[in-house]
Amino acid sequence: MTILAPEDIRRQAAALGPWFHNIDLCGVATAPEHFLGDYPAVKWRRFAHALPADLRGKTVLDIGCNGGFYSIEMKRRGAARVLAIDIDEDYLRQARFAAQVVGLDIEFARLSVYDVAALDERFDVVLFLGVLYHLRHPLLALDLIRDHVVRDLFVCQSMQRGDPAEERFAEDYPFWETAIFEGRGFPRMAFIEHRYAGDCTNWWIPNRACTAAMLRSAGFAIDSNPEEEVFVCRPGPVERRNAVYPARPRERRNGAAA
């Protein structure tokens, strides 16, 4: 562990900014003026109880780790191994620095959610927090996560908008039945053509029913919904088509990927 003086932490954190994760680095806040307040700690406090308090011996994959807040929390719960991935190198630099300052051994890799099959490994806990709505192909991402990296727990959080109601619908309806699409609890996801909240990577915003339906469609069984945007799931029956790309890990030839 490298011991840094508060002024050095503050200087290096500022150089790595702006931060989306407000992380307490030995008394230095990385995003003290965050528009959501003490984020993501304020979110974490609402669903932290739904995850195992003791992760000793467990492996964790944090997909879209951003500045590393949740990876740090998993390691603080004793996880034997935490692998944090993100496609944004700026976020990875922040997360590496945060882990270094707090003295936690976390692995980092630049990897897209669409390429998780390349890990060729399943993890006891997979976090997918604040990523879904940034993806052009969100259901494909869920399919790939289910097919390739989840062993036990999958924790998914997505920004949601619209009516939070959920209703029970039949598995099929005749072609001329249209009223169901106006139901307040029907799964819906809004497409953002340009930007939302100034962010051009906000592509889709589901309602609560849609998030749940997508998770079930991808082959997850929902254990709990401890916070309005958070779903804790486990692998369930796969009653859907396989993910179209890649359908399975690349075949290995002579110990190397084909």
Lowest mean pLDDT among 5-9, 61-65, 140-144, 163-167: 163-167
pLDDT value of position 239? 63
Return the SS3 of 56: strand
pLDDT value of position 220? 96
Please, what is the average pLDDT of the chain? 92
Kindly report, residue by residue over 99-149, the tens digit of the pLDDT: 999 999 999 999 999 999 999 999 999 999 999 999 999 999 999 999 999
pLDDT value of position 143? 93
Amino acid identity, residue 192? I
CB 26 within 8 A of CB 9: yes
